[in-house]
């Protein structure tokens, strides 16, 4: 009788171990549950900045809410003879198609910022794909240019999103210099945030319709010019192939 009890416990323990092994082998966001559980899962990251010896930075404008300052932004960019990247949300593209044309005709790079500005981490892969496909279709219909860059709303991402972007041949772009212009900071405060944090290969985050962007942008571009920086679009800054991204989001040429 004692032998049967011991044997029964052994069988139960063995079955439990088998179940645990199966659970830990299940894939989660491209990694096994075991690596997630033990904290060893490889976490992919977008491009936050670029490792370069060139005094070059990219300036970007998230474009989702409002448009009355956009023409002023374009005028300032033209006056300083610099390029930039606008990350547009699909509903903004629908509402302001003539501005999209104007931005494109000025030679400004356009990337997608999703279709409805959701938190991608809360979406299924299928809904992520729908957000990207819809927004890209709207942009490309107007510009006749391929969309190659994506910035996630709120800067929120996970491996599922980044793997999907790889499938769609989209490079996901974050930033390493945040102007916080959407918080209502003064033009000088915005400018100081850029000047105090910028370095070779930086990607600067602005918004097309923030309160003081029209006052801040000329100050930013003037100071960057005096510091010897060339201001470009993201596409002109990043490496297109043969690169790696470290765990800090810095893109390195292999």
pLDDT in tens, 87-96: 999 999 999 9
Output the six-digit token pair for 31. Answer: 């990694």
DSSP E strands in 19-119: the ranges are 27-28, 31-32, 49-50, 56-63, 85-88, 109-112
My answer on whether 97 and 9 are in the same domain is no
Which residue, among 73, 86, 89, 61, has the nearest Cα to 178 in the 3D structure? 61
My answer on whether 122 and 154 are in the same domain is yes
Which residue, among 86, 87, 46, 77, has the nearest Cα to 176 in the 3D structure? 46
8-to-2, 4, 12, 19, 21 alpha-carbon distances in Å: 10, 6, 6, 17, 20
pLDDT tens for residues 115-137?
A: 999 999 999 999 999 999 999 99
Q: Would you call 68 a catalytic residue per the annotation?
A: no
What's the number of domains the chain is made of? 2
**Residue 100 CB neighbour total at 10 angstroms:** 24
Compare 23 and 113 and report the one with higher pLDDT. Answer: 113
Catalytic residue among 113, 117, 207, 212: 207
My answer on whether 132 and 212 are in the same domain is yes
Using DSSP bridges, classify how beta strands 250-253 and 243-245 pair: parallel, antiparallel or unpaired.
antiparallel
Catalytic residue among 62, 113, 181, 212: 62
What range defines the domain where residue 25 resides?
Answer: 2-37
Q: Would you call 207 a catalytic residue per the annotation?
A: yes
Tokens 């041949």 map to which residue? 169
Compare 154 and 41 and report the one with higher pLDDT. Answer: 154
My answer on whether 94 and 53 are in the same domain is yes
My answer on whether 219 and 160 are in the same domain is yes
My answer on whether 12 and 94 are in the same domain is no
């Amino acid at each position: 009788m004692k032998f049967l009890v011991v044997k029964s416990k052994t069988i139960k323990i063995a079955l439990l171990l088998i179940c645990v092994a199966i659970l830990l082998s299940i894939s989660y966001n491209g990694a096994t549950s075991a690596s997630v559980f033990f904290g060893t899962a490889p976490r992919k990251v977008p491009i936050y900045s670029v490792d370069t010896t060139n005094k070059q930075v990219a300036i970007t404008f998230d474009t989702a809410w409002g448009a009355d300052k956009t023409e002023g932004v374009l005028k300032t960019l033209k006056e300083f003879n610099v390029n930039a990247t606008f990350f547009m949300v699909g509903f903004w593209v629908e509402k302001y198609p003539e501005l999209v044309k104007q931005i494109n005709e000025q030679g400004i790079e356009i990337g997608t910022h999703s279709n409805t500005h959701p938190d991608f981490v809360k979406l299924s892969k299928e809904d992520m794909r729908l957000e990207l496909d819809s927004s890209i279709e709207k942009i490309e219909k107007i510009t006749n240019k391929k969309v190659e860059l994506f910035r996630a709303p709120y800067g929120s991402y996970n491996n599922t999103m980044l793997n999907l972007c790889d499938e769609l041949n989209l490079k996901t772009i974050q930033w390493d210099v945040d102007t916080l212009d959407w918080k209502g900071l003064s033009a000088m405060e915005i400018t100081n945030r850029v000047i105090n944090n910028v370095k070779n290969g930086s990607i600067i985050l602005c918004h097309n319709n923030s309160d003081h962007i029209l006052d801040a942008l000329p100050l930013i571009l003037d100071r960057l010019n005096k510091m010897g920086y060339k201001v470009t679009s993201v596409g002109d800054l990043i490496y297109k192939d043969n690169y790696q991204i470290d765990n800090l989001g810095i893109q390195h040429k292999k």
